[in-house]
């Protein structure tokens, strides 16, 4: 028989309070959508919540929970990056930044190639 070593788990400190999460999600939503009634309608469409609930999230009054937070992250780049930052997945954030840079470079290279082609045609035309 094993000796009983204790039945209580050590108390863990919350790293993030509901108030802090509310403010962070609200800030992310405001950065992406603004604060207009249209912003609330977009959040309602994304999550299926009421206008009052959507406005509360946007203004940082209450935090979204569970599936609603996932839906916000699925539809909002700002909320997705916030969630990744909160769970300390800087590697994923960096990968997204690198991908965005690669896409921008590819577009710039394409524009440069078109510019060179047009200039070559103009030179050949004269």
pLDDT digits (tens, 9 = 90+) for 25-68: 999 999 999 988 899 999 999 999 999 999 999 999 999 999 99
Whose structure tokens read 């082609």?
Answer: 117
pLDDT digits (tens, 9 = 90+) for 79-88: 999 999 998 8
Q: Which pTM value belongs to this model?
A: 0.69
How many Cβ atoms are within 10 Å of 83's Cβ, its own excluded? 19
Contact 35, 59 (CB under 8 A): yes
Q: Which of 24, 40, 37 is nearest to 80 (CA)?
A: 24
């Amino acid at each position: 028989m094993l000796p009983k070593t204790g039945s209580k788990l050590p108390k863990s400190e919350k790293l993030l309070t509901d108030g802090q999460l509310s403010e962070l999600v609200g800030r992310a939503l405001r950065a992406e959508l603004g604060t207009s009634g249209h912003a609330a309608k977009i959040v309602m469409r994304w999550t299926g919540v009421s206008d009052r609930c959507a406005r509360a999230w946007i203004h940082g009054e209450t935090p979204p929970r569970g599936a609603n937070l996932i839906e916000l992250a699925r539809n909002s780049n700002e909320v997705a990056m916030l969630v990744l930052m909160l769970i300390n997945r800087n590697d994923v954030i960096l990968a997204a930044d690198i991908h965005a840079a690669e896409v921008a470079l590819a577009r710039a290279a394409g524009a440069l190639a078109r510019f060179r082609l047009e200039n070559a045609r103009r030179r050949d035309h004269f």
